[in-house]
């Protein structure tokens, strides 16, 4: 058996050397006079193309044998305007006829993604699409990202949104909660974010699109058709053009309101393994293998893709470029980026730079399990400096601020654990080298891993694990709600006054709860949805978050673009007690209108007096309010910082 596996591996490696197809015409290329098909299936003895009138439950109207083309491809050209016609491929490998598979390069599909659809993309463009422009972005560190699941925004009865659980829900302006609070799109605009990060919105496996009345929920980390929007978020999943048009309408609406769109992409594994489209067409090629010849499982989802192989790398590059060009997507967050090789990630960056160099790239710099691919060639956190203008999430700040995610009752800096000051300081300098940060005291890293601040995404919570508010309830059950609110806003004050890229989990600004569910990937809407009544209930919290965002946007000193500038302008202050961090941003850092800024975090249960440079100061944030406009003025060289709070001061 082992010899057979080695022979199989040799054949795969041989394909990778001899059958590299570099053309840009894979998939179905529509014109009014005919559609050209090209499939890469070098191990096939034969390839059939099947046409269908409907997306499901109908026999093929025609089957044609494709012709061999160069570099392992198969081709066919079918005359006529085929817009709206469905199709699949079926290959024969050896003596075995494989089940039908959807074209990996399909641009449209029907319900449940079971058949590709030929599409004239110009017919899917909403009015004004050709003039749609990306909102301006001067620097990656100007990004304030808000992570959202499509359904979560609108399904609650208090959302006031008509298209519940749909792409179109994000196009509705003027929606209000029963108490008159802004919801949906207006809420995002009022909050002040720059980027909306959408959890997987490509076609995934786990939701039955033919049964829209069911309460079906999934995060979507089980990819099926990578280049097609998810049908359950459209008003008609059986018409492949509808989901495309509605996704574009969503992007256009967000762009019109100054918000860029980030797609959460999951190229590290497929939702199905032996019967995935990839594997039915070219068995084993797209996946890494373990020592026994089976599928390796660094994703924890049954398989991991082989990004280092030429055609998988090409697929990833082609796919993100397609989303950026056709759908005007402004950024990509890579799920388990630590499973992708560095060469592929840098190839993606180069390709997107040719589209628009302001497109944002970031990802999880880890895997979910061991991979057979050499660690020194993977996009792990320790290798971030070898990635070209690609950012990584900082678990150092995340767990330093509120506790280790896998030890539920362990607190962090903001909720009471002593000795986490260096983790906070490391986040403040965006994981770059700074002479006043002691790497030996960090939770995970022992050295700076970001070459520049735009390579570090700072956050305290995301869709994974507990919401911040639920986590504080677990770590601090004896504290009052008022005290836990102080911890909550202190956490976000750290994120929004640190260097690097700021990242927020949707609903944190109204103390979002998932009722203690830490892995809500398939929990019902009642667990995952945003309850808009909480916005009125916790209005001061919302205003504080909004004020912190306004403060960050008004002061470029918090958004320096280079590590050398951080070392030059940012100096940490000596604190009067443990569980405190303070720093000065001096010299009009990054062209800031304020000559000097002072930021102090006090995680203690008591107020603390802190020495600062003598002068007259505008208070921009304290324990109750935050914003771009001064709250009050004070003079002197000592400031009292209330307990469990942040304070920001500015000097003209």
Catalytic residues: 335, 364
Residue with tokens 């699949």: 88
Radius of gyration of the chain (CA): 26
Which long-range contacts link 26-30 to residues 24+ away (Cβ below 8 Å)? 26/73, 26/104, 26/105, 26/318, 27/103, 27/104, 27/105, 27/106, 27/107, 28/87, 28/103, 28/105, 28/106, 28/107, 28/116, 28/118, 30/82, 30/83, 30/118, 30/119, 30/120, 30/121
Polymer length of the chain: 652
Burial of 226 by CB count in 10 Å (0-12 exposed, 13-18 middle, 19+ buried)? buried
Cα separation, 489 vs 495, whole angstroms: 10
3-class state of residue 635 by DSSP = strand
Cα separation, 361 vs 192, whole angstroms: 21
The answer to whether residues 626 and 541 touch, using CB atoms and an 8 Å cutoff, is: no
- The structure tokens listed for 358 are 């302001």
The answer to whether residues 555 and 570 touch, using CB atoms and an 8 Å cutoff, is: no
Burial of 14 by CB count in 10 Å (0-12 exposed, 13-18 middle, 19+ buried)? exposed
The answer to whether residues 459 and 397 touch, using CB atoms and an 8 Å cutoff, is: yes
Cα separation, 234 vs 201, whole angstroms: 11
- The structure tokens listed for 171 are 């196009």
The answer to whether residues 447 and 439 touch, using CB atoms and an 8 Å cutoff, is: yes
Listed residue (281, 295, 270, 370) closest to 5, CA to CA: 295
The answer to whether residues 611 and 581 touch, using CB atoms and an 8 Å cutoff, is: no
587: left (phi over 0), alpha (psi -120 to 50) or beta: left
Print burial letters for 472-489: b (CB count within 10 Å at least 16), e (below 16): bbbbbeebeeebbbbbbb
């Amino acid at each position: 058996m082992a010899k057979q596996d080695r022979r199989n591996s040799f054949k795969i490696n041989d394909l990778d050397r001899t059958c590299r197809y570099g053309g840009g015409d894979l998939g179905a290329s529509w014109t009014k006079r005919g559609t050209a098909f090209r499939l890469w299936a070098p191990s096939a003895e034969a390839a059939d193309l099947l046409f269908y009138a409907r997306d499901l439950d109908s026999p093929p109207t025609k089957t044609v044998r494709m012709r061999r083309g160069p570099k392992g491809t198969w081709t066919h050209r079918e005359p006529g305007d085929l817009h709206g016609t469905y199709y699949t491929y079926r290959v024969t490998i050896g003596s075995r006829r494989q089940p039908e598979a959807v074209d990996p390069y399909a641009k449209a599909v029907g319900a449940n993604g079971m058949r590709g659809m030929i599409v004239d993309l110009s017919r899917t463009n909403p009015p004004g699409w050709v003039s749609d422009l990306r909102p301006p972005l001067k620097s990656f560190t100007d990004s304030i990202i808000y992570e959202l699941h499509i359904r979560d925004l609108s399904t609650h009865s208090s959302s006031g949104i008509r298209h519940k659980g749909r792409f179109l829900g994000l196009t509705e302006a003027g929606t209000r909660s029963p108490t008159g609070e802004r919801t949906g799109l207006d809420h995002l605009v009022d909050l002040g974010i720059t980027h909306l990060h959408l959890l997987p919105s490509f076609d995934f496996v786990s939701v039955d699109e033919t049964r829209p009345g069911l309460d079906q929920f999934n995060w979507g980390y089980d990819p099926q058709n990578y280049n097609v929007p998810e049908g359950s978020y459209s008003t008609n999943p059986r018409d492949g053009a509808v989901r495309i048009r509605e996704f574009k309408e969503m992007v256009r609406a967000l762009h019109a309101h100054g918000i860029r769109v980030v797609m959460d992409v999951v190229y590290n594994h497929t939702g199905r393994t032996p019967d995935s489209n990839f594997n039915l067409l070219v068995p084993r090629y797209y996946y890494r293998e373990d020592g026994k010849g089976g599928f390796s499982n660094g994703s924890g989802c049954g398989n991991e893709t082989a990004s280092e192989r030429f055609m998988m790398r090409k697929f990833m590059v082609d796919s993100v470029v397609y989303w950026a060009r056709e759908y005007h997507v402004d950024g990509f967050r890579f799920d388990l980026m630590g499973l992708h090789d560095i060469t592929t990630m840098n190839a993606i960056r180069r390709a997107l730079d040719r589209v628009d160099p302001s497109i944002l790239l970031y990802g999880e710099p880890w895997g979910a399990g061991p991979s057979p691919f050499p660690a020194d060639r993977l996009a792990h956190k320790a290798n971030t400096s070898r990635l070209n203008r690609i950012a990584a999430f900082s678990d150092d700040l995340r767990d330093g601020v509120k506790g280790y995610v896998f030890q539920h009752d362990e607190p962090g800096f903001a909720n009471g654990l002593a000795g986490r000051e260096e983790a906070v300081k490391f986040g403040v300098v965006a994981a770059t080298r700074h002479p006043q940060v002691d790497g030996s005291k960090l939770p995970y890293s022992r050295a700076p891993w970001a070459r520049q601040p735009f390579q570090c995404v700072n956050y305290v919570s995301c869709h994974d694990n507990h919401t911040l508010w639920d986590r504080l309830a677990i770590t601090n059950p004896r504290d009052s709600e008022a005290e836990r609110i102080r911890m909550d806003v202190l956490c976000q004050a750290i994120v929004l006054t640190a260097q690097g890229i700021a990242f927020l989990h949707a609903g944190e600004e109204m103390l979002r709860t998932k009722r203690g569910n830490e892995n809500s990937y398939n929990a019902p809407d009642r667990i995952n949805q945003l309850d808009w009544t909480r916005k009125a209930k916790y209005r001061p919290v919302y205003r504080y978050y909004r004020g912190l965002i306004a403060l960050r946007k008004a002061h470029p000193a918090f958004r320096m673009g280079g590590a050398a500038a951080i070392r030059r302008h940012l100096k940490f202050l000596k604190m009067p007690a443990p569980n405190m961090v303070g720093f000065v941003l001096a010299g009009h850092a990054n062209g800031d209108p304020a000559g000097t800024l002072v930021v102090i975090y006090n995680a203690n249960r008591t107020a603390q007096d802190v020495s600062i440079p003598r002068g007259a100061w505008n208070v921009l944030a304290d324990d109750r309010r935050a914003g771009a406009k001064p709250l009050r003025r004070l003079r002197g060289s000592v400031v009292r910082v209330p307990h469990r709070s942040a304070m920001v001061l500015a000097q003209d």
